[in-house]
Structure 1
Amino acid sequence: MWTSISIISLLILFVLWNVTLIGYKDRDLTPLKQDEASVFTAKAKSILLTQDAPKAILLIHGFPSTPAFYSYSAQRFHDAGWDVHAPLIPTFGSDPKEFEKTNFSQWFAYICRYYEKMRDTYKTVHVLGTSMGGLMTLKLGETYCSSSKAPDKLVTVAAPVVYNSIRDGIITDARSCMMRSVALFKPSIGVRTVDGNPNSDDGNEQWVGYGGLFVRAGLSLVHNMKEVRKNLGRITCPLFSIHDVNDGTVPFGNLKIIQQENGSKNFRSLETHMREFKHNRHSLLSYRSIREELTDTIIEFLDAKEMTNG
């Protein structure tokens, strides 16, 4: 009997250790430097469109992708009068074996350095992020909204703040109950570069990033969601959060959490209802069927004069 109880207890502890990520932390905090000479395709490179404007927008890409999916909106923002910065986060777009060695803390530290340089250069700076980029946008708000370097406005698209949570009714991937253990032995599984997806449509066939499963890097991303959610109340800058109700990558329930827990007095949200395509209805600004209207809506939000830092 005691043997059975011991086995059950060990199994429970094993699952909790994997699911809660207790004791986990990003250990390598070495600053990353960009080297776009190593990208697997020129399409993955940073997008930089400048015209000596007094205002700028920082576009942060997702995981495990590149700035390529911002190509349409970046040009639209530039045409609307902004300098546009869509940097390729270091090691993204490189050899997958190099990328898998890095973590969220290193990626975010790079974005912070990039953002601070923009904040020191431009009178007005907006930040927009998709997926992991949306998570980073929220974290930037939590970090800077109450400081002299506050962003003027924030926009998130399909931002995750929870991965698996029974309490919130959100299960992104049940396999995560084993991933911490798997990561001890394998940093990635079946990873490869992706330069276009001919089996997709609506613009997603031009997606550039990685395929496969980055176990260690993914754990780092999931672990950092907890702190971002905990600090959502620190976001006092104007915030616009967008999510499709049928997002197949980041569950729609994440938008509900952002709606309820952010601290901005100037908050707006948008629920999109895309019809079915051969994609996950996730990288919304890359889809031909919605990107024009959605970019118009974002520009309207960014241009609204009554919206000021809270």
Structure 2
Amino acid sequence: MPLMPGSEPYQHEGGQVGVLLCHGFTGTPQSLRPWAEHLAAAGLTVSLPRLPGHGTTWQEMNRTRWEDWYAELERAFESLRSRCSEVFVTGLSLGGCMALRLAEVHGASVRGLVVVNPSIVNDTPLLSLAPVLKFVLPSVAGVAGDIKREGVTELGYTRTPVRAAATLPKLWSLVRSELGRVTQPVLVYHSPEDHVVKPQSVELLKEVLGDNLTVRECADSYHVATLDNDAPTIFEGSLDFIRTHASVPLQRD
């Protein structure tokens, strides 16, 4: 299946500190590419995979489910872990949810997390009907491209594949049920004006994670804050977070 130009995965071999980045639902690595390149320039080993079904067609994505996306992320994590002394995990939206899942499963092997507008709560009532709708409605309007900054676009589907979306509630439920296992430091970037993910997800993280959690607002960005006006703040802030919590120094190229 041909890829949408610009949706290719990205990797960079740097020092002993690795960072895994995960893009969002119906998006592509393009939404995180500038972030990945910023971290790579600081000497980090970086992996930004393309999740199965993404970056091709929404019809192709309808043949995948959350377990497929998570399996690809875990494969990339294990690869990084085999090459690096320690690994940090970051993600946008669904990618933030799956980053939290990695932390739940792998414990101390995940050194810390940086998530941007994470999605762990079903805040879209229509999605509750997706298990039934998928048999009669293959797609609905897309969610990609929620960006405040003029002239910037996100590479993603204009339609949301319903059969794939119908698998999300099980992932959210699983992640919420084991949030207490996340003991690593977590930095969350949150856009108050987000037209895709509502505030309930961040509120739940505050409630469960307590002192392990730091929340910073992206006051001048919408959902895809990694391509928006607050992107430089996210990039530099995440780098500072990694420098603070890494046990080995970052290696600059």
TM-score normalised by length of structure 1:
0.73
Which of 63, 86, 91 is residue 124 of structure 1 equivalent to? Answer: 86
Residues 266 and 307 of structure 1 are in contact (CA less than 8 Å); yes or no, is this contact kept in structure 2? Answer: no
Bigger drift between 129-138 and 87-96 goes to 87-96
Alpha-carbon separation, structure 2, partners of 1:269 and 1:44? 29
Alpha-carbon separation, structure 2, partners of 1:203 and 1:73? 19
Alpha-carbon separation, structure 1, partners of 2:151 and 2:166? 26
* Alignment pair present for 1:90 and 2:90: no
The Cα shift of 1:162 comes to 0.8
Alpha-carbon separation, structure 2, partners of 1:212 and 1:65? 11
The Cα shift of 1:68 comes to 0.2
The Cα shift of 1:108 comes to 0.4
Structure whose alpha-carbon radius of gyration is higher: 1
Aligned equivalent of 2:164: 217
* Alignment pair present for 1:140 and 2:140: no
Which of 204, 212, 234 is residue 266 of structure 1 equivalent to? Answer: 212
Gap runs ≥5 in structure 2? 249-253
Residues 111 and 245 of structure 2 are in contact (CA less than 8 Å); yes or no, is this contact kept in structure 1? Answer: no
Alpha-carbon separation, structure 2, partners of 1:62 and 1:140? 15
Which of 192, 207, 223 is residue 282 of structure 1 equivalent to? Answer: 223
Which of 182, 189, 192 is residue 133 of structure 2 equivalent to? Answer: 182
Alpha-carbon separation, structure 2, partners of 1:235 and 1:116? 18
> Per the alignment, do residues 184 and 81 of structure 1 end up closer, same or farther by CA in structure 2, a change over 3 Å counting?
same
Runs of 4+ in structure 1 off by over 3 angstroms are 305-308
Alpha-carbon separation, structure 2, partners of 1:136 and 1:262? 16
Alpha-carbon separation, structure 1, partners of 2:121 and 2:74? 22
Alpha-carbon separation, structure 1, partners of 2:117 and 2:73? 19
The Cα shift of 1:177 comes to 4.4
* Alignment pair present for 1:79 and 2:41: yes
The Cα shift of 1:102 comes to 0.5
Residues 158 and 244 of structure 1 are in contact (CA less than 8 Å); yes or no, is this contact kept in structure 2? Answer: yes
Alpha-carbon separation, structure 1, partners of 2:150 and 2:30? 11
TM-score normalised by length of structure 2:
0.89
Structure number with greater CO (CA < 8 Å, separation at least 6) is 2
* Alignment pair present for 1:252 and 2:199: yes
* Alignment pair present for 1:298 and 2:238: yes
Aligned equivalent of 1:105: 67
Gap runs ≥5 in structure 1? 1-36, 164-171, 276-280
The Cα shift of 1:175 comes to 2.3
Q: Which amino acid aligns with 1:47?
A: Y
Alpha-carbon separation, structure 2, partners of 1:266 and 1:223? 25
